[in-house]
Amino acid sequence: MKNILLTILILTNLTFATEDYLGLYSTEVKEKELKDKYCKNNIKGDEFCMEYTLTYPIIKSKNLELKKSIESLVEEKIKKFKKLNSKNKVLTLLSDEPDLTWSWEDKTRIQIYATTKNSFTLAIINYNYSGGAHANRTVKYENYTMGNGKELEMKDLFVEGYADKLTFIANRFYREINKLQPEESLTKIGWFGDNFILSDNFAITTEGLEFLYNPYEIKPHIAGITTFVLPYNRITTIMKSDK
């Protein structure tokens, strides 16, 4: 059910739910959109378009550290977006394939996904269509420290040599919540294979670490996005004491 809800949020452009700390910080979030679109007729006289869109948060908060960090991160992403050029893209594509039709899209939304006392997480949601049977939708989490906005990686949270232990614990927990016995194959619940893979795409939440798998990573496209939250009480022995 959680996977379905997450997919609906992406498709309908609803705002992601955030942790309670945003409320404690008296934080308000609005969104602003940048767009770059160019169209040109192909060799047959049919229109072909390329559209880039970036939707990003405008934050108002009493937590100045959070506000400043997010504004700085968003500013960098806006700079990268402005380097895209829909006109050049269309002209290049039509030069290679003069009969291209339909419209291509690349839409990115930056949202505040989770906050804790020490960190915040952005969800970078991308919708991309460049022909074919269906569009590609992905979500990438980015975690940052609340104080200086430093990006956090898995190694920043765990003690040295954590990888195998974390994968073992996550595998066991994932099987538990999916009612899968240790000897049963993951293919029974839609995985491509039986080898458990721990995603490096994670969000730091107040409940635990949320791991996310985009379509095609572990399951077919039709399965959509897969997520699960690994509670902190399962991994305290391998986490750094200052996290």
Biggest alpha carbon distance in the chain?
Answer: 65
pLDDT of residue 18: 42
How remote is the C-alpha of 94 from its chain's centroid? 31
Mean pLDDT across the chain = 88
pLDDT given at position 123: 96
Closest CA to 135 of 216, 191, 206: 216
Q: pLDDT per residue over 192-241, tens digit each?
A: 999 999 999 999 999 999 999 999 999 999 999 999 999 999 999 999 97
Phi and psi torsions of 116, nearest 5°: -130, -175
Whether 17 has a pLDDT exceeding 80, the answer reads no
Model confidence band, residue 133 (pLDDT cutoffs 50, 70, 90): confident
Superfamily of domain 154-243: Heat-shock cognate protein, ATPase (3.90.640.20)
The pair of structure tokens assigned to 233 is 């009480």
Query: Pairing relation of β-strands 119-129 and 28-41?
Result: unpaired
In this structure, CATH architecture of domain 1-152: 2-Layer Sandwich (3.30)
Tell me: the pLDDT tens digits for 79-93?
A: 999 999 999 999 999
- What residues does 31 pair with on adjacent strands? 57
* CB atoms closer than 10 angstroms to residue 13: 13
| Amino acid 62: pLDDT | 84
CA-based radius of gyration for the chain: 21
Domain residue extents for the chain = 1-152, 154-243
